[in-house]
Structure 1
């Protein structure tokens, strides 16, 4: 049975080879299943994927039985349909740290459904202070663009 969760953070740590790092709490309902897996899919969500985001943070439900549709990749991992982007990951290292497991994963396959042009506003989604927020022009503290 597939499982899903919302990761607090996912970061790129290398371009060549493409590597991501993220952590999963031992308290997550998905932790036991993910402990046995060697591959998984990380979804990158934006405000158009709010229903998928809600599934990831809702406890005690089968996240694949209701709501957004999904499919399996040829390699077997579940992928939610129409999300902004996804990356298929192969687990290469795990480190126990407190009550979490830190995963380092190689990213051999990815797909971008929606992207924004460099320098243009997008519909980024951030989970902060137990609330979902849309990133936009008013959320910028400082512009990184030279004038």
Structure 2
């Protein structure tokens, strides 16, 4: 799966010891009606216990300008919500990272054991997608163990044959 490119997110939640979160590249759309998503968490993750106990998470879709957050939330758990991390709580209580233009508030519906990971199935309860007319920043992409930015491709030539 290293060769497969995927978008980078940070999943945050509350725990008994305060806010916690982790970097994830496994977020996927499952259903439009009802609006369901899924993501995976390693059974060795320092956030697993919090994930088992929470009923709600926030999924932050990172831009290519937020690599530092992806790296911080994949590192030491004690540094994830350090003073350098700007964040606040939503009115519903979940920790929201500053500067994230697209996020989903998700209610945990199922936790499905799957090998050395747990699949989380969640119902989208709220979302933030800018409607100010500004273009969204390019997404942060993870492939082959490295972070990348997405670059738009030029329009294809409709007269070119795809079969050569």
Whole-angstrom CA distance in 2 between matches of 1:33 and 1:39: 10
2:61, 2:139 within 8 Å by CA — same for their partners in 1?
no
> Which consecutive unaligned segments of at least 5 residues does structure 1 have?
none
Gaps of 5+ in 2: 1-17, 159-164
Cα distance in structure 1, aligned partners of 2:49 and 2:125: 24
Q: How does 1:41-60 map to 2 (within 5 A)?
A: 41-60=58-77
What is the TM-score of this pair, normalised by structure 2?
0.76
**Residue 34 (structure 1) aligned with residue 54 (structure 2):** no
- The alignment's C-alpha RMSD in Å is 2.2
| Residues 55 and 18 of structure 1: CA distance in aligned 2, closer, same or farther (over 3 Å) | same
**C-alpha separation between the residues in 2 aligned to 1:125 and 1:15?**
24
Counting strand residues as a fraction of each chain, which structure ranks higher? 2
Larger radius of gyration: 2
Question: Within 2, Cα distance between the matches of 1:133 and 1:22?
Answer: 21
TM-score (norm 1): 0.84
Alpha-carbon offset, residue 51 of structure 1: 2.1
How many aligned residue pairs are there?
Answer: 139
Distance 2:85 2:111 in 1: 30
> What is the 5 A alignment of 1:1-147?
1-113=18-130, 116=135, 123-137=138-152, 147=158
